[in-house]
Amino acid sequence: MRARTIVLFAVVAGLSAAAGISYYLWSRGGGGAAMAPDSVVERVLSVRVADVKGESQSLEQWRGLVLVVNYWATWCAPCREEIPGFVRLQERYGSRGLQFVGIAIDQPDKVAEFASEFRINYPLLLGGLETIELLRQAGNRAGVLPYTLVIDRKGNLVSREQGGLKEARLERIIQPLL
Amino acid sequence: MRLILILLVAMFGLARAAEPELLEPDKAFRFAARLTDTRSIEVSYQIAPGYYMYRDKFHFTLGPPDVKPGEPRFPAGKKYRDEFFGEVETYRGSLSIVLPFELGDTSVPAIQLAALSQGCADIGVCYVPHEQKAELRLAALSAGAMRSDAAPGVFSGTGLETDDARIVRVFEGGFWLAIASFFGFGLLLSFTPCVLPMVPILSGVIVGTGQPVTKARGFLLAAVYVLGMAMTYAVAGIAAGLSGAMLSMALQNPWVLGAFAAVFVVLALAMFGFYELQLPVALQSRLADASNRFHGGHTAGMFVMGVLSALILGPCVAAPLAGALLYIGQSRDVVLGGSALFAMALGMGVPLLAVGASAGALMPKAGPWMETVKRFFGTMLLGVAIYLVSPFIPVSVQMVLWAALLIVTAIYLRAIDPLPAGAHGFQRFSKGLGIIALIAGLAYLVGALSGGRDILQPLSGLRVTASGTAPSAAPFQRINSSSELDDRIQAAAGQTVMLDFYADWCVSCKEMERYTFSDERVQARFSEMTLLQADVTANSAENAALLRRFRLFGPPGIVFFDREGREIQGLRVIGFQPADRFVAVLDQALTFRR
């Protein structure tokens, strides 16, 4: 009788734990479309996007650096708020191997205007439909901006941040990676 | 054990802390579009609290290329100064934008709208440009109803509503609205000849238990009875939710309807006083024993009566019920199905509760007045019995039955007895009614004997012009499978095609055939189209596949195809439609061009 009770409890607990873990994963990563972190990094690095001048670029060129990929737009007020902080961090840690890359879901002229006004000291690229699709697969199901990925020197996805990112918080994430 | 608990709590804590709740863009910005007239579209957004949209980021595209969009008209939004963009206008709450357009070619059947929008949430994120689409059917405009992507596909579309469709619409308004509507619907049903005769029966059962009945006890008994009835309907609703539309199919079987008609005749004869309507003596004594042993034996009997009466009344209210069951079957929503029918039965029970609470006082206990009321109800019950079986018997037999009912009623009303010299006003009135019934009955009798075909015009068979021009049955080609349908549609190249789903048990189909298809105007339009009929009585696998193809759960259903063989969306006819309205639908189908 006692043994039976224990088995019953164990089964219930096991099921609950499984449910809890799957809910946790689901709420973090989002559905079946989410890719494994490694393949997210590979896709992000390999995909080719145009820069403000219209030339095709890939993020492959920055492999081996501590990479902060920031998806943003000029029309997105929360995105703009975090950019001065990015500029300061790029200035402070750029020499130690930190590289910011901004991918804007926007019109080229607006991005260029914004870049000069805010003195952006890191490369800006222009994302299209493909970028939006990639965003969704990377775990950003609702497709929101800003969205920031932090990738270490070995190509591991260290962090994905949805919404505005405080300078101090980002600094704490990148410092151990440098 | 404690460890597991801690683990579980930790799991949920982690899950909750993961990210702030963020709505999917389709939920944050609920999109709908409808045609307001032939030159403008109303695009509306329901913006969730805490979310906003940018005025200057909307972009609308229309297809096909013949449709040229005009300048959208925006309402005033909330303005604020943006450090980078200058003045920016945003919207919160509900937003409605008017998008005018011009039609280059008036034969365009539908407009495709793609709406690109951008919005943000106050928690500090914005959504990437989001596209939402809708198709707006111009064919449906003349009928008065429009369809956007959000609307459920099967029953929406035509503005010419049938009873079934009207009930289906009730469900679109949400759960409680549906429940309330069904309660009201039940209340209305309680005044139909199906339910009203139950009032004296119930009061007889309550009062006729031998013991004196208090108001409280009367109400309790009536409540138990109504509860029994309501629970039976709830079970029917749940069954419909589980089984699809099989239930309404079962209820429209000739044998079932015939059996219930017989029950109605039995009840009617009791009303006429041929015998006392009581539970069988054996059962009665059992119940009496039980109630002696434990309190509430009689109550249990009333509950059983309620269940039985629901079964008896079921087929009688089946016609209005069919739409509801069809919808519930299609939605497969067991909770809604059960609750809706429960609410309907409660509505039907309201008059019964009133009678119960009055402990029979509402019904005069004795006297000729009560006898008259009972006879009246008895006559109504007989009428219902004839109505129930009418789809399955020839018109001439129906006429004979109506004639018999009317003439016998007339005799009871003393239509041919001489009035006494000092006749009471009521007697004179009743004799007047009797004579009307007698003449109507005779008309039916003559009509039946002279080959009348129209139940509403029993003597039309006597018309000189009508003789010899019996309207031929509509020349339907039978099809049995999906591939056969495609072949026939191919063969009909250039002609509009009408596909009628039919089954022997389908009452509305027979009514349609008898009253609508036989109409001269309908026949004239039929001659211009190819008529196909799918007989799904057998309910074979091929039949089922055919129904599934059109997302129908069963007949009645009429589907039209244009000259190129594609279905004309939004022009389906579900349920019975009188000739006037059906002619309008046929005209739309015939003039439809893509």
Closest listed residue to residue B126, CA positions, set B25, B31, B44: B25
Q: pLDDT over 70 for what percent of chain B?
A: 66
- Which residue in B8, B19, B126 is closest to A20 by CB distance? B8
Cis check: omega of the bond before B64, within 30 degrees of 0: yes
Top-ranked range on mean pLDDT: pick from B99-103, B334-338, B367-371, B544-548: B99-103
The reply to whether residue B11 touches residue A74, judged by beta carbons under 8 angstroms, is: no
Is the Cβ pair A75, B57 closer than 8 Å?
yes
Instruction: Please state, in angstroms and rounded to a whole number, the distance separating the CA atoms of residues B336 and B241.
Output: 8
Structure-block tokens of residue A161:
């941040």
Please compute, for residue A17, the number of CA atoms within 13 A of its CA located in the half-sphere on the CB side. 12
Bridge partners, B499 (sequence order): B532, B559
All residues at 6 or more sequence positions from B257 whose CB lies less than 8 Å from its CB, including other chains? B251, B315, B388, B389, B391, B392
Task: Tell me the chain A residues in contact with residue B15 when contact means C-beta distances shorter than 8 Å.
Answer: 20, 23-24, 27-28
pLDDT in the model for residue A70: 94
DSSP-assigned letters across all residues of B160-229: S--HHHHHHHHGGG-HHHHHHHHHHHHHHHTTSTTTTTHHHHHHHHHHTTSS---HHHHHHHHHHHHHHH
Calculate mean pLDDT across residues B185-205: 70
Strands (E) across B376-482 are located at 477-479
Angle between the B368-389 and B198-207 helix axes, to the nearest 10 degrees? Answer: 130
Q: Considering CB atoms only, which of A9, A80, A105 is closest to B128?
A: A105
Task: Give the residue from B33, B27, B31, B333 showing the smallest Cα distance to B171.
Answer: B333
Question: Which residues of B are less than 8 Å from A135 in CB distance?
Answer: 128
CA dist B45 → B24, B31, B38, B78, B121 (Å): 14, 5, 21, 16, 15
Contact B248, B354 (CB under 8 A): no
- Pick from B137, B122, B125, B117: which is nearest to B26 by CA? B117
> Which pLDDT does position B3 carry in this prediction?
42
Class of domain B477-591: alpha beta
Nearest to A73 among B123, B126, B130 (CB): B126
pLDDT range class, residue B207, cuts 50, 70, 90: low
Between A62 and B505, name the one with better pLDDT: A62
Q: Give the pLDDT confidence of B54-77 residue by residue, as tens digits.
A: 888 898 988 888 788 888 989 888
pLDDT of B507: 67
Contact A17 B84 (CB under 8 A): no
For B471-489, the DSSP string reads PPPP-PEEE-SHHHHHHHH
Q: What is the mean pLDDT of residues B563-583?
A: 78
Identify the closest residue of chain B to A115 by CA–CA distance: B84
Residue of B nearest to A117 (CA): B84
Local structure of B280: helix, strand or coil: coil
A15-19, B145-149, B194-198 — which one is most confidently predicted on average? B194-198
Interface probe for B, chosen from A6, A27, A165 (most Cβ of B below 10 Å), is A27
| CB within 8 Å: A135 and B128 | yes
Residue B95 φ/ψ, nearest 5 degrees? -130, 135
State residue A110's pLDDT score.
86
Among B15, B24, B125, the residue with its CB nearest the CB of A23 is B15
Per-residue pLDDT, B253: 65
pLDDT for res A2: 45
Task: Say whether A143 and B11 touch across the interface (CB within 8 A).
Answer: no
pLDDT-derived band at B154 (thresholds 50, 70, 90) equals very low
- Residues of B within 8 A of A132 (CB-CB) are 128-129
Residue range B172-198: average pLDDT? Answer: 72
When comparing pLDDT for B39 and B1, which is higher?
A: B39
Look up residue B534 and give its DSSP letter.
Answer: E
For chain A, give the secondary structure using H, E and C.
CHHHHHHHHHHHHHHHHHHHHHHHHHHHHCCCCCCCHHHHHHHHHHCEEEECCCCEEEHHHHCCCEEEEEEECCCCHHHHHHHHHHHHHHHHHHHHCEEEEEEECCCHHHHHHHHHHCCCCCCEEECCHHHHHHHHHCCCCCCEECEEEEECCCCCEEEEEECCCCHHHHHHHHHHHC
Tokens matching residue B444: 């039916």
The CA-atom distances, in angstroms, between A116 and each of A22, A52, B123 are 45, 12, 28
> Residue B8 and residue A142: Cβ atoms within 8 Å?
no
Rounded to a whole number, what is the distance in Å from the CA of A83 to chain B's nearest CA?
13
Mutation choice for A interface testing from B128, B130, B131, B132 by most A CBs within 10 A: B128
Distance from the A35 Cα atom to the nearest Cα atom in chain B, whole angstroms: 18
Q: From first to last of the 178 residues of chain A, give the pLDDT tens digit.
A: 344 545 555 555 555 555 555 544 444 443 334 466 777 888 888 888 888 888 888 888 998 899 999 999 988 888 888 899 999 999 999 999 999 999 998 888 888 888 888 889 999 998 877 788 888 888 787 888 899 999 999 888 888 888 888 888 899 999 998 8
User: Residues of B with CB below 8 A from A76's CB?
Assistant: 120, 125-126
Q: What is the mean pLDDT of chain B?
A: 72
CB contact under 8 A, B127 and A143: yes
A145·B127 Cβ contact <8 A: yes
pLDDT, tens only, B423-453: 777 778 888 888 998 999 998 888 888 776 6
Q: Residue B277: what pLDDT?
A: 52
Higher-confidence residue: B286 or B180?
B180
Max mean pLDDT range (B49-58, B172-181, B302-311, B499-508): B49-58
Nearest Cβ partner for A142 among B57, B82, B127: B127
Q: Is the pLDDT of residue B593 over 80?
A: no
Nearest to B126 among A76, A132, A141 (CB): A76
Q: How far apart are CA B259 and CA B265, in angstroms?
A: 10
What pLDDT was estimated at residue B84? 73
Chain B residues at the A interface, defined by Cβ less than 8 Å, are: 1, 4, 7-8, 11-12, 14-15, 18-20, 22-25, 28, 54, 57, 82-85, 118, 120-121, 123-130
3-class DSSP state of B519? coil
Beta bridge partners of B559: B499
Domain extent listing, chain B:
25-151, 173-364, 395-462, 477-591
pLDDT at res. B370:
60
A20 neighbourhood in chain B, CB within 8 Å: 8, 11-12, 15
Question: Which pLDDT score, from 0 to 100, does residue B473 have?
Answer: 54
- In A, which residues are within 8 Å of B11 by CB distance? 17, 20-21, 23-24
Per-residue model confidence (pLDDT) at position B295? 46
The string of pLDDT tens digits covering residues B79-128 is 877 777 778 889 988 898 988 888 776 677 788 888 988 888 888 788 88
Size of interface A-B (CB pairs under 8 A): 90
Q: How far apart are CA B247 and CA B269, in angstroms?
A: 29
pLDDT, tens only, B317-348: 655 565 566 556 555 567 777 788 888 888 88
* Gap from B25 CA to chain A (nearest CA, Å): 6
pLDDT category, B395, cuts 50, 70, 90?
A: confident
Of residues B489 and B172, the one with the higher pLDDT is B489
Q: What is the pLDDT of residues A92-139, one digit of tens each?
A: 999 999 999 999 988 888 888 888 888 899 999 988 777 888 888 887
Write the CB contacts of B394 (distance below 8 Å, at least 6 apart in sequence).
Answer: none
Nearest by CB to A142, which of B24, B54, B118? B24
Site from A82, A119, A144 to mutate, B interface, most B CB atoms within 10 angstroms: A144
Torsional sign, CA B517, B584, B134, B326: negative
Shortest CB distance from B125 goes to which of A105, A141, A162?
A162
What pLDDT, on the 0 to 100 scale, is given for residue A151? 92
Radius of gyration of chain A from its Cα atoms, rounded to whole angstroms: 20
Answer whether residue B146 shows pLDDT above 50. Answer: no
Residue A86 has what pLDDT?
Answer: 93
Scanning every residue of chain A, which has its alpha carbon at the shortest distance from the alpha carbon of B131?
A129
Q: Contacts of residue A27 in chain B, CB cutoff 8 Å?
A: 15, 18-19
Partner-chain contact A142 B84, CB within 8 Å: no
* B14 interaction partners in chain A (CB closer than 8 Å): 24
Task: Compare CB distances from A144 to B22, B57, B82 and report the shortest one's residue.
Answer: B22
- CA-to-CA distance for B132 and B114, rounded, in angstroms? 6
Per CATH, the number for B25-151 is 2.60.40.1250
| Residue of chain A minimizing CA distance to B15 | A24
Percent of chain B with pLDDT over 90: 1
Domains B25-151 and B477-591 share a fold: no
State the pLDDT at residue B2.
43
Extract the tokens encoding B129.
């440009």
What pLDDT score does B193 carry? Answer: 64
